[in-house]
Structure 1
Amino acid sequence: MDAYRGFVMTLMAAEILRFHELHESFPDSSFWAFLTHHQSHVAWAGCSLHDLIQPSFSFLVGVALPYSIASRAAQAQSFGNQFGHALRRSLILILLGIFLRSTHAEQTYFTFEDTLSQIGLGYPFLFLLGYTSPRTTWLAFGGILFAYWLAFVLYPAPGPNFDYTAVNVPPDWPEHYTGLMAHFNKNSNLAWAFDTWFLNLFPRAKVFLFNGGGYATLSFIPTLGTMVLGLQAGRWLREGVSSRDLIKRLLIAGAIGLASGVLLHVAGICPVVKRIWTPAWVLFSGGWCFWLLALFYSIIDVAKYQKWTFALVVVGMNSIAIYCLVHLIDHFIITSFYTHLGHGVFQILGAPFEPLLIGMAALGIFYLILLWMYRRKLFIRI
Structure 2
Amino acid sequence: MSTSPQPERLLSLDAYRGLVMLLMLAEVLHWENIAKAVPGSVFLAFMGHHQSHVSWEGCSLHDLIQPSFSFLVGVALPFSLASRLAKGQSKVQLTRHAFGRALTLILLGIFLRSLGHPQTYFTFEDTLTQIGLGYGFLFLLGLTPRKIQWVVLAVILVGYGAAFAMHWEKDSNLAARFDQWFLNLFPREERFVHNEGGYATLSFIPTLGTMFLGLLAGGVLRNGQSPQKRLKVFLLTALVLLISGALLGALGICPVVKRIWTPSWVLFSGGWCFVFLTAFYYLVDVRGQKRLVFPLVVIGTNSIAAYCLSWLFVELIEKALYRHLGHTPFAIFGVAYEPLLHGAATLTILWGILFWMHRRQLFLRI
Q: Which residue of 1 aligns with 2:350?
A: 366
Residue 126 of structure 1: how far off its partner (Å) = 0.2
Distance between the aligned counterparts of 2:117 and 2:343, measured in 1? 24
Which residue of 1 is the match for residue 230 of structure 2?
246
Are 2:266 and 1:282 equivalent residues in the alignment? yes
Deviation at 1:23, TM superposition (A): 0.7
Deviations 1:199-249 (A, max 9, x none): 000011111000000000000000000000000000000011011110000
Q: Provide the C-alpha distance between the structure 2 equivalents of 1:309 and 1:266, rounded to a whole number of angstroms.
A: 36
Unaligned runs of 5+ in 2: 1-12
Indicate which of 67, 74, 98 corresponds to 2:79: 67
Deviation at 1:340, TM superposition (A): 0.8
3-state secondary structure, aligned to 1:127? helix
Distance of 2:246 and 2:318 partners within structure 1: 41
Q: Which AA in structure 1 matches 2:151?
A: L
Q: In structure 1, what is the equivalent of residue 143 of structure 2?
A: 131
Could you report, residue by residue, the CA deviation over 1:180-207 in whole angstroms, capped at 9, with x for unpaired residues?
3xx0111000000000000000011111
What's the C-alpha RMSD, in Å, of the aligned pairs?
0.7
Q: Once the 2 structures are TM-superposed, how far is the Cα of residue 133 of structure 1 from its aligned partner?
A: 1.4
State the distance in 2 between where 1:100 and 1:356 align: 25
Structure 1 stretch displaced more, 212-221 or 24-33 = 24-33
Deviations along 1:126-175, one digit per CA (max 9) or x if unpaired, are 0001111111111111111111111111xxxxxxxxxxxxxxxxxxxxxx
**2:161 match:** 149
Aligned to 1:96: 108
Structure 1 position 316 matched with structure 2 position 328: no
Paired residues for 1:198-237 under 5 Å: 198-237=182-221
Give the whole-Å Cα distance in 2 for the aligned partners of 1:77 and 1:198. Answer: 37
Distance of 2:174 and 2:37 partners within structure 1: 40
How much has 1:324 moved relative to structure 2?
A: 0.5
C-alpha deviations, 1:342-378, integer Å up to 9, x for none? Answer: 1111111111111011101110111111001001100
* AA aligned opposite 1:72: R
Provide the aligned length of Structure 1 versus Structure 2. Answer: 354
Deviation at 1:90, TM superposition (A): 0.5
Q: Is residue 85 from structure 1 mapped to residue 97 from structure 2 by the alignment? A: yes
- CA deviations 1:101-146 (Å, max 9, x no partner) are 1111111110100000000000000000111111111111111111
Q: State the distance in 2 between where 1:92 and 1:79 align.
A: 20
Asked whether 1:122 is paired with 2:121, we answer no
Quick one: which amino acid aligns to residue 95 of structure 2?
F
User: What code does the residue aligned with 1:107 have?
Assistant: Q
CA distance in 2, matches of 1:20, 1:297: 31
Residue aligning to 2:338 = 354
Deviation at 1:72, TM superposition (A): 0.6
Counterpart for residue 293 of structure 1: 277
| Secondary structure at the counterpart of residue 78 of structure 2 | helix
SS across alignment from 2:307: helix
Q: Distance in 1 between matches of 2:52 and 2:91?
A: 42
Aligned equivalents of 1:381 and 1:302: distance in 2? 28
What is the TM-score normalised by the length of structure 2?
Answer: 0.96
1:33 aligns with 2:45: yes
The two structures have a TM-score, normalised by structure 1, of 0.92
Separation (CA, whole Å) in 1 of partners of 2:124 and 2:62? 20
1:50 equivalent in structure 2: 62
Percent identity for Structure 1 against Structure 2: 60
- Alpha-carbon deviation of 1:253? 0.6
What amino acid does structure 2 have at the position aligned with 1:122?
Answer: G
Q: Which runs of 4+ in 1 moved over 6 A?
A: none
- Tell whether 2:326 aligns with 1:342: yes
Tell me the residue number matched to 1:11.
23
The letter for the 2-side match of 1:366 is L
| 1:272 to partner: Cα distance | 0.4
Counterpart code for 2:276: L
Equivalent-residue separation in structure 2 for 1:19 and 1:268 (angstroms): 32
